[in-house]
Chain A
Amino acid sequence: MNDLLGVVDWSRAQFALTAMYHWLFVPLTIGLSVIVAIMESIYVRTGDPKWKGITKFWMTLFGINFACGVATGIILEFEFGTNWSNYSWFVGDIFGAPLAIEGIVAFFMEATFVAVMFFGWNKVSRRFHLTATWLTAIGVSLSALWILVANAWMQNPVGMIFDPEQMRNVMDNFTEVAFNSVAMNKFFHAVFSGWVLAAVFVVGVSSWLLWRRRNVDTARKSLKIASWFGLVGMVMTMWTGDGSAVEVARVQPMKLAAMEGLYDGNVGQSLVAVGFVNPDKKPGDDLEAIKGEISIPYGLSILANHDPDTFVPGINDIIEGRTITAGGDTVYGDSYADRIAMGKAAREALSRYAAAKSAGDTAAMEQAKADVMANFRYFGYGYLDKPEEAVPPVALTFYSFRVMVMAGGYLMLLFIVLLFVCYRRTAVLEKPWLHWLGIISIPVVWICSQAGWIVAEVGRQPWVIQDLMPTRAAISDVTTGSVQLTFWIFAVLFTLLLAAEISIMLRYISRASKKNIEQPE
């Protein structure tokens, strides 16, 4: 195993493991906080104490998830400092500022208002309590905003100037960083997908209550709210996903090409609906890229630019810098060979800068700095030996994208069916098949959510910062053994944590379901 996987791969695996476990908890916190706030709003508006009981039931499940998930993201920051020190230093305050804001927001908003949510029943007024619940929900989403701003900067680095003296990217435009178009789409896409995830969770638990014929009234009310909430969340997720696709086409065309397994693009490019990636396919060869392909005509052009006649470049086109204009002319921009040459020139200039600095030759330092800056936009390509190294893992990106889309489509259908049943065919609410459909949808939504992140993060390889730093240059001088050790520690720790969460949740649901949820003590 050690022979195959070096420190880069183990560090990536560790980061992926930590991030994926962290993301098991986060979207449920984001979505469930809003569902709880909606339920409490109904209670305050109607004054019906049954809604207070229902709110408290779901609020407790929110609390269990919140407690299990809190601080799991801090480990990612530890990994930055230990395994990814070159990266941590290189990103400078660009990454630090949003994370610091996130820490402050998380601590003050969530910690304060979560306490009022749980301890404040009968101690503060109804309206004050409701305000605290909504502020908790808003605080949770705002925390996600700053994390996603930091992530978006890695996908589309803007608003900074590189300083070879400090060896850091120095933020020169906070607005550009904070309102990065990638960040905005990513934020809303992640938050609304959290709504969907929480809605399916509520659907699943409610379905279990219906199946066991316990607290049927609570389950029906919850099912109705969750279905509406999930449907709205899904529509918004699809809308923001569409916006994300346009952004990916603009700033990360290689990721889009990998998502589609597209090597040679066309005007009016079709979208692969069904197909299998040919594992032998390599850039520049004549092999078929997708086997058994069934396509949607013009689909990818519409997805990428909302225009069926747009040219969408494939992997080969991007490597060669080729594009076709709206007028039908073939034009060439920077090929990957050009970019590699510029990246190597930037690295060589950086080397000259270091030598001039040691010699105290300020004139040579200035010249070298100018050369670094002239080539800096492709700095990361200087670590590649050939263009093919800039192609992400196509199969994993391709299949993850389809898993996400298909699972999302299924969930959209689920919410529509549930709403139809809730309003037009209430007798179906007693059918066991419907209950099991709700229950088995719980893992589906988590798989959908994780697949989305795989598309986003695997699809941008080999970059840890788009075009500026490949993953292998970001790594610290650490040994594979130490990363392997902590990888397995995390694997055990997070699995225990997840088992604890599921166990506490199941025990609580089982215990609460045997009492009247709508009449809490």
Chain B
Amino acid sequence: MSSLTDHIAAVVRFYVDGFKSMTVGRSLWLLIIIKLFIIFAILKLFFFPDKLGSDYDSDAERAEAVRNALIINKQTTD
């Protein structure tokens, strides 16, 4: 048990030491965090809903919606 704990502690220490010793990496991690925040917390949440996932409750309804869309094929324009 203690061997497993030691291993986990070593892995954690490996990452902590690695992050501490970064130079260029710090600004890169900042860039990654900002980018992921924009992608998932802003773009995905407010601009990119899963149309079929959010508009319909079941796969059968989604299939019917797509079937109707492909039968009618109304090309959406403003």
Contacts and interface: CB of A to CB of B under 8 A. Distances in A.
Interface of A: 2, 6-8, 60, 63-64, 67-68, 70-71, 74-75, 78-79, 81-82, 85-86, 88-90, 115, 118-120, 123, 164-168, 347, 350-351, 353-354, 383, 472-473, 475-482, 485-486, 489, 493, 497, 500, 504, 508
B47 A86 contact: no
A71 B39 contact: yes
B7 interface: no
Contact of B50 (A71, A81, A120, A123): A81
A479 B76 contact: yes
Contact of A6 (B15, B35, B53, B76): B76
25 contacts: A6-B76, A6-B77, A6-B78, A7-B75, A8-B76, A63-B25, A67-B28, A68-B31, A70-B32, A78-B43, A78-B44, A81-B48, A82-B50, A90-B66, A115-B14, A118-B22, A347-B70, A347-B71, A472-B75, A473-B69, A477-B69, A477-B76, A482-B47, A486-B47, A504-B31
B63 interface: yes
Nearest to B49: A82
Given A67-B31, A85-B52, A167 B70 contact: yes
Interface string B13-55: 0110111011011011101100110110001100111111100
A497 B76 contact: no
Contact of B38 (A90, A123, A481, A493): A493
Contact of A497 (B35, B44, B74): B35
Nearest to B28: A67
A437 to B, nearest CB: 29
Q: Which of A79, A81, A167 has the most chain B CB atoms inside 10 A of its CB?
A: A167
B15 to A, nearest CB: 7
Contacts of A479: 76, 78
A8 B75 contact: yes
A86 B70 contact: yes
Contacts of B48: 78-79, 81-82, 486
A354 B39 contact: no
A499 to B, nearest CB: 11
A6 B74 CA distance: 13
A119 B76 contact: no
B2 interface: no
